[in-house]
């Protein structure tokens, strides 16, 4: 529950690149649904597409300094153990070319999409082992 409260608080403190990216992602590009400040383990994922298990992290300058690269690598490994791939996007890139960033995110989601999609509303239920 502590992680959920922290995620809620973080949503109100997003930086400009995160706000711009969220404004685009909430429109469901490529028909993918995204969450912001999604708690996973003890981490807060900047954005996540749960359907494709893609974590999207907006990295500012601080991510290249000190021990942060090693901490990010450990975080990425721990998330990978849960089946999440991490896509790291420099904040400057979002400010420079948001459309290209969105295209890259949708491409990454499509590459991780499941082979079987949920049936349309009113369609037959999934077979055993399918979601």
Express each pLDDT in 33-56 by its tens digit.
999 999 999 899 999 999 999 999
CATH classification at residue 99: 3.40.960.10
The answer to whether residue 75 is domain-embedded is yes
Task: Convert the pLDDT of each residue in 42-91 to its tens digit.
Answer: 899 999 999 999 999 998 876 566 777 889 999 999 999 999 999 999 99
Q: Which domain, by its residues, includes 63?
A: 2-112
Instruction: Please count the structural domains in the chain.
Output: 1
Strand pairing report for 43-49 and 35-40? antiparallel
Residue 125 resides in a domain: no
* 41 domain residue, yes or no: yes
Strand-pair partners of 49: 54
Is there a domain that residue 53 lies in?
yes
Q: Give the predicted TM-score (pTM) of the model.
A: 0.76
Is 119 inside a domain boundary? no
Domain membership of residue 123 (yes or no) is no
């Amino acid at each position: 529950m502590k992680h959920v409260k922290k995620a809620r608080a973080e949503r109100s403190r997003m930086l400009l690149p995160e706000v711009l990216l969220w404004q685009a992602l909430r429109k469901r590009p490529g028909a993918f649904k995204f969450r912001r400040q999604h708690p996973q383990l003890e981490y807060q994922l900047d954005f996540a597409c749960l359907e494709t298990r893609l974590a999207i992290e907006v990295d500012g300058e601080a991510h290249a300094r000190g021990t942060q690269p090693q901490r990010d690598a450990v975080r990425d490994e721990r998330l990978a153990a849960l089946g999440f791939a991490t896509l790291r996007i420099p904040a400057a890139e979002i400010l420079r070319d948001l459309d290209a960033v969105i295209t890259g995110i949708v491409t990454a989601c499509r590459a991780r999409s499941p082979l079987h999609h949920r049936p349309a509303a009113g369609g037959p239920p999934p077979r055993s082992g399918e979601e």
